[in-house]
A and B are shown apart, each in its own frame.
Chain A
Amino acid sequence: MKQIKIYFLAFVLLSSLSCAQENTPAIETPETVDYTHTTIVEGIDIPWGMDFINENELLVTELSGKLYRVTKGVKTVITGLPEIYLRGQGGLLDVALHPDFKNNNLIYLTLSATLDGDPGGNTALYKAKLVGNTLKNLNLLYKATPNTKKGQHFGSRIAFDGKGHLYFSVGDRGNRDENPQDISRDGGKIYRLNLDGSIPEDNPFVSSSKAKQAIFSYGHRNPQGMTVHPTTSAIWVNEHGPQGGDEINKVESGKNFGWPIITYGINYSGTTITDKTSDPTMEQPFYYWVPSIAPSGMAFSTSDVYKGWKNNLFVGSLKFEYLERLVIKGNKVVKREKILDKIGRVRNVKQGPDGYLYLGVEGKGIIKIMPL
């Protein structure tokens, strides 16, 4: 009888280990809700990227190819954009103001483009000068190759480390077997450039003639959230895993984040991609989500606007339609909470110059979270 019990326990243990388990800590619903929200601009279907000119003015990208200047809730279309390849998840992606925008009026855009080469497209990074409501001096800083008609995984987010570098992401472009693990190919990478687009001398692969020298880290799947840590200046990204296995990664120079050799996720069809979740030569995620939340956008709250949210990390969930608040202690996520549950697909989150959190919500527009 004792033996049967042991077998039974072993069976329970094994079967619970073998299926994808929900990762801890479990998501919570807040006990007290001491905040509300207000829509600051409507009528932007997929508000993919945004950045703030000042407290009353921001730039917002719409995936379909429009760049808006929003001034006190009124939106104006900005003209002079480069040609955009609209297919699948591609389109006009992120926008970011140059750290010295006040003096030079420069902005950066990521978008999907064809330009030269094969039919199809891949992610491009542009710099341009915002003059009135027109982009001038369009300057292509990077274009991932080759073009492909695949619809997936263009990335892309832009962030700055405050030390003269720009980082941006390109997803694996639906070619996981060739792109993410090969540093001579684009896709599945975080890139690092100087603000003028040149390649920093201390990039990890500058001495390799075969490598794409703009690469900073590799083995990524589809990073659609990126921000700089307020005190360490490290670049944090979140990326969509396959089914299960979305990740937060702290990117580091030359490191391999494992996709698709290691992952906590499985194929959408339910079949496995790999049985490996770790490898000594590859980085573990800082945090991973099982089940997937489909993360997009990422921001730290550094202001005192909200009670108890300072230094928390915020991530949009496209799939479950809420904003996720992650409390980090030491090197660990110790608490997760749903903010504005059922608000809609949260595509983006940013902290404004006023210290408030702003969300890009699909089908709605830009929403500001207000403390009560």
Chain B
Amino acid sequence: MKSIVLIYLLSLGAFSSFLFQNKTKKESIKAGSEIYQDFCLQCHLSSGIGVSGVFPPLKASDYLLENTNLSIAGIKYGLKGKIIVNSEEYNGVMVRQGLDDEEVADVMNYILNEWGNQTTAFITPNQVSKIPKSLVE
């Protein structure tokens, strides 16, 4: 009996995780690539190198790769004022793009794993939902 309950619970768990399917990292990166084409590329460029002094780079960007939560907050709420990226100062405005938490997670996974960027982290919508605005205020 115990084992039946256990099997039941396990299969319920497996089934619900299937139902409330969270994307795999690969799927998230793919979706993020589309978001990137749509919302980010005009400034940060398809190569992710940005424009020196105007739009910060995402490729090999210390700011992005070392401050995951701050980067999420920047995308989620918008970012303005002085930041230092790879020893260069940027003092611009990135407006809030109106992306939902899942879209923010997807585009984060894309930029964290494109142009030679690599990370073991996997950003989830749940993680994005918990990032407070105070980080970028």
Q: Nearest residue in A to B91 (C-beta to C-beta)? A: A363
Contact B96 A64 (CB under 8 A): yes
Chain B proximity of A126: nearest CB distance (Å)? 20
A150 to B42, CA, bound (A): 14
Contact A268 B92 (CB under 8 A): no
Judged by a CB distance under 8 angstroms, whether A270 is at the interface is yes
The contact of B38 among A91, A150, A321, A363, by CB within 8 Å, is A150
Residues on the A chain within 8 Å of B38, using CB: 88, 150-152, 174
State whether A363 and B92 are in contact (beta carbons under 8 Å apart), knowing that A87-B98, A88-B98, A90-B98 are contacts in the complex. Answer: yes
State whether A86 and B46 are in contact (beta carbons under 8 Å apart), knowing that A319-B54, A362-B93, A363-B92 are contacts in the complex. Answer: no
Judged by a CB distance under 8 angstroms, whether A46 is at the interface is yes
Chain A proximity of B93: nearest CB distance (Å)? 5
Judged by a CB distance under 8 angstroms, whether B97 is at the interface is yes
Judged by a CB distance under 8 angstroms, whether A269 is at the interface is yes
Contact A91 B95 (CB under 8 A): yes
Contact A45 B93 (CB under 8 A): yes
- Tell me the B64-95 residues at the A interface (CB within 8 Å): 78, 80, 91-93, 95
Judged by a CB distance under 8 angstroms, whether A345 is at the interface is yes
State whether A63 and B97 are in contact (beta carbons under 8 Å apart), knowing that A151-B38, A151-B39, A268-B46 are contacts in the complex. Answer: no
Contact A362 B92 (CB under 8 A): yes
Residues on the A chain within 8 Å of B39, using CB: 88, 151
State whether A345 and B92 are in contact (beta carbons under 8 Å apart), knowing that A45-B80, A319-B54, A363-B80 are contacts in the complex. Answer: yes
A64 to B98, CA, bound (A): 10
Residues on the A chain within 8 Å of B51, using CB: 319
- Tell me the A275-328 residues at the B interface (CB within 8 Å): 319, 321
Contact B98 A45 (CB under 8 A): no
A45 to B111, CA, bound (A): 25
Judged by a CB distance under 8 angstroms, whether B12 is at the interface is no
Judged by a CB distance under 8 angstroms, whether B136 is at the interface is no
State whether A321 and B54 are in contact (beta carbons under 8 Å apart), knowing that A45-B80, A152-B38, A268-B46 are contacts in the complex. Answer: yes
Residues on the B chain within 8 Å of A85, using CB: 98
- Tell me the A2-33 residues at the B interface (CB within 8 Å): none
A363 to B96, CA, bound (A): 14
Residues on the A chain within 8 Å of B91, using CB: 363
Residues on the B chain within 8 Å of A268, using CB: 41-42, 45-46
A150 to B39, CA, bound (A): 8
A150 to B54, CA, bound (A): 24
- Tell me the A323-372 residues at the B interface (CB within 8 Å): 344-345, 362-363
Against B, the Cβ 8 Å flags (1 = close, 0 = not) of A87-99 are: 1101100000000
Contact A63 B95 (CB under 8 A): yes
Chain A proximity of B40: nearest CB distance (Å)? 9
State whether A46 and B95 are in contact (beta carbons under 8 Å apart), knowing that A151-B38, A319-B51 are contacts in the complex. Answer: yes
The contact of B96 among A86, A150, A344, A345, by CB within 8 Å, is A86
| Residue positions of A touching B, CB distance < 8 A | 45-46, 63-64, 85-88, 90-91, 150-152, 174, 268-270, 319, 321, 344-345, 362-363
Q: List 20 A-B contacts (CB under 8 A).
A: A45-B80, A45-B93, A46-B95, A64-B78, A86-B98, A87-B97, A88-B98, A90-B98, A151-B38, A151-B39, A152-B42, A268-B42, A268-B45, A268-B46, A269-B46, A321-B54, A344-B92, A345-B54, A362-B92, A363-B92
| Residue positions of B touching A, CB distance < 8 A | 38-39, 41-42, 45-46, 51, 54, 78, 80, 91-93, 95-99
Closest 7 CB pairs of A and B: A87-B98, A151-B39, A363-B93, A86-B98, A151-B38, A269-B46, A45-B93
Given contacts A150-B38, A362-B93, 19 further A-B pairs with CB under 8 A are A46-B93, A46-B95, A64-B78, A64-B96, A86-B96, A88-B39, A90-B98, A91-B95, A151-B98, A152-B38, A268-B46, A270-B46, A321-B54, A344-B92, A345-B54, A345-B92, A362-B92, A363-B80, A363-B92
